[in-house]
Structures are given as structure tokens and as C-alpha cells.
Amino acid sequence: MASNKNNKLNLEQQKYQSFAQKREPRRPLLSNCLKAFISGGAICVFGQLLHFMYIKYFSFTENNAGDPTAATLIIISVLLTGFGVYDTIAQWAGAGSAVPITGFANTISSAAIEHRSEGYVLGVGGNMFKIAGPVIVYGVFSAFVVSIIKMLVNYMGGI
């Protein structure tokens, strides 16, 4: 419970929450960070290997090998989600499996699978971006703001 929330609570509630907090196991922050570092790093190393493979064997260049690499990672992530493995991995990996592109693919595919029972339009179509939607909205918006700033800086003579 964040301390800034406490000012809305009355004394009895505050007392209870500190009473309860003493009996709650804490999130294992350090080991979670370590696991996220290992698993997230492993995904990135695997991606890098794919990148090299596409350059070496499929005559992609340094500039465009990123596209098939991302596509391969997405396909693997979607398959693991469909087979019901990704959420098990994520319980161990935490942010390590959520932050790379595989996590983004998991949010969309898991929502699509979940809402299949409500039909293709209202179910799959309507809910597919339930978790990924906000990321896209604020991602695009912040890219827009940053590009305006960059444009202004360039216009004024640049750095």
C-alpha cells in the first residue's frame, strides 16, 4: 500500500493496514529483478542471434534484418500463448517477458483467444487491443510530441 494513499484513510484503517502489512509476504523485489534481467536478456540475445542469422543466410542487411527478427519473435510468442505456456513463463520471468516485443504479442493474442467465445467482431475484434490499446495510444502520442519538439529544435537551428 503506497504511503500517499494513507491520507485518505481514517485512523482505524491506517492502523489495520500496518497490522496487515506485517503479516503479508513482500514481493521478492531483488530476485524478481534478477529473473527479469536474465529472462529479458535471454530473449534479446535470442533476437540478436536471429538478426545475425537473417543477415548471414537470408541476405538481409543490417538495416532491414530487424523486420523478420521481430516477426519471428512475435510468431513464437503467439504460439507459446496459444499453447498456454507463456503465462507460466511470465510468472517466473515477470518484466523480463513483458517488456520485449514478445510481451506485446502476448497481450494481443491472449485477449483474442479469451474473447473468441463472444464472436469475431465484438469478441476478438473488440477486445484484442484491450491491454495493448493504451500502449499504442500513448506510444503514438508521445512519439508525436517528441517529433514536434525535435522539429522545433531543428527549425531554431538545431543542436
C-alpha distances in angstroms, 84 versus 4, 16, 94? 38, 39, 16
When asked if residue 20 is in the footprint of other proteins (CB under 8 A), the reply is yes
CA distance 34 to 95: 10
The CB-of-110 to other proteins minimum distance in angstroms stands at: 4
Q: Which is nearer to other proteins, 67 or 87 (CB)?
A: 87
If the CB atoms of residues 17 and 72 are measured against other proteins, the closer one turns out to be 17
* Per CB under 8 A, 27 contacts other proteins: yes
CB of 35 to other proteins, least distance (A): 9
Inter-residue contact 47 to 73 (CB < 8 Å): yes
39 binds other proteins (CB under 8 A): no
Q: Which residue has the cell 519538439?
A: 149
Residue 147 CB-half CA count within 13 A: 6
Amino acid, res. 9? L
Contact with other proteins (CB under 8 A): which of 53, 74, 89, 101? 89
Q: In which region does residue 84 sit, left (phi positive, over 0), alpha (psi from -120 to 50) or beta (all else)? A: left
Binding stretches for other proteins (CB under 8 A): 1, 5, 8-10, 12-14, 16-17, 19-21, 23-28, 32, 81-82, 84, 86-87, 89-91, 93-95, 97-98, 103, 106-107, 109-111, 113-115, 117, 130-131
